Amino acid sequence: GTATGAPGGLAGLPWVRPARAQDAITPGANAVLLVIDMQNCFLPGGTLPVEHGDEIIPLINTLAAKFQNVVMTQDWHTPGHISFASSHAGKQPFDTVELPYGPQVLWPDHCVQGTDDAKLAADLNVGYAQLIIRKGYHPNIDSYSAFLEADRETRTGLAGYLIERGLTDVYVVGLATDFCVSWSAQDARAADLKVAVVEDACRGIDLNGSVAAAWEAMEAAGVRRIQSSDFA
Asked if 109 is an active-site residue, the reply is no
Interacting residue ranges for ligand VGL, rule: CB under 6 A: 37, 42, 75, 107, 144, 175-176, 179-180
Q: Contact between 75 and Zn ion (CB under 5 A)?
A: yes
- Of 71-79, 97-105, 117-125, 206-214, which part binds Zn ion (CB under 5 A)? 71-79
Asked if 192 is an active-site residue, the reply is no
- Of 73-81, 157-165, 205-213, 222-230, which part binds Zn ion (CB under 5 A)? 73-81
Identify which of residues 57 and 176 has a Cβ nearer to ligand VGL in the complex: 176
Q: What is the 3-state secondary structure (H, E, C) of the chain?
A: CCCCCCCCCCCCCCCCCCHHHHHCECCCCCEEEEEECCEHHHCCCCCCCCCCHHHHHHHHHHHHCCCCCEEEEEECECCCCCCEHHHCCCCCCCCEEEECCEEEECECCCCECCCHHHCECCCCCCCCCCEEEEECCCCCCCCCCCCECCCCCCECCHHHHHHHCCCCEEEEEEECHHHHHHHHHHHHHHCCCEEEEEEEEEECCCCCCHHHHHHHHHHHCCCEEECHHHEC
d(CA 91, CA 103): 14
Identify which of residues 60 and 82 has a Cβ nearer to Zn ion in the complex: 82
Preceding amide of 121 cis, omega within 30: no
d(CA 93, CA 98): 14
Nearest distance, CB of residue 136 and Zn ion, angstroms: 5
Catalytic residue among 41, 111, 180, 202: 180
Identify which of residues 162 and 175 has a Cβ nearer to ligand VGL in the complex: 175
Catalytic residue among 41, 135, 142, 202: 135
Residue 149 binds which entry of ligand VGL, Zn ion, none, CB below 5-8 Å type-dependent: none
Residue 76 binds which entry of ligand VGL, Zn ion, none, CB below 5-8 Å type-dependent: none
Asked if 41 is an active-site residue, the reply is no
Identify which of residues 27 and 71 has a Cβ nearer to ligand VGL in the complex: 71
Q: x-or-dash pattern for Zn ion, window 24-63, by CB under 5 A?
A: ----------------------------------------
- Residues forming contacts to Zn ion in the complex (CB under 5 A) are 75
User: Known catalytic residues?
Assistant: 37, 135, 180
